[in-house]
């Protein structure tokens, strides 16, 4: 993660995050939905900035002692540089510091790079969600990490 930092997501990052969503996800969230997260008390979002440019982002929602990771996305030009792992670490650090007992997430069963990342960080498969994703329709693995 050379010349990159992890910072809280701000209004100044929204346009690039919306563009990143369109690159990475078949059902990207619109700018307005991303902007609304800035005012959501349960939302925690970080961005990876490499030499000032948005390289990726990650977000989760925490309620009581549970945090649910929504998305981790990295622009293709910045992949395989440890950015997704650093973003995941930032979410975990935040969760620990705020008293969370565990984090959970869904991941497409075909997304082997993400599955390897999560398993490497200690996430365990606890179930599946049939037909969880659309475009294309696909099952999700449900992964959890206890803190």
**Do you find a cis peptide bond into 113, omega within 30 degrees of 0?**
no
Q: Is the Cα dihedral 98, 46, 141, 139 positive or negative?
A: positive
DSSP 98: T
Active site residues: 106, 118
> Exposed, middle or buried by CB within 10 Å (0-12, 13-18, 19+), for 127?
exposed
Beta bridge partners of 103: 67, 145
């Amino acid at each position: 993660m050379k010349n990159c930092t992890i910072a809280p997501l701000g209004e100044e990052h929204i346009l690039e995050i919306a563009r990143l969503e369109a690159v990475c996800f078949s059902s990207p969230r619109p700018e307005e939905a991303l902007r609304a997260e800035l005012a959501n008390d349960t939302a925690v979002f970080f961005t990876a900035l490499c030499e000032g440019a948005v390289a990726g982002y990650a977000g989760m929602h925490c309620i009581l002692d549970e945090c649910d990771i929504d998305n981790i996305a990295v622009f293709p030009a910045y992949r395989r540089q440890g950015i997704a792992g650093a973003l995941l670490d930032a979410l975990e650090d935040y969760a620990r510091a705020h008293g969370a007992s565990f984090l959970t997430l869904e991941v497409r069963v075909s997304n082997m790079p993400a599955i390897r990342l999560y398993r490497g960080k200690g996430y365990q498969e606890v179930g599946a969600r049939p037909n969880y994703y659309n475009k294309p329709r696909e099952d999700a693995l449900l992964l959890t990490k206890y803190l």
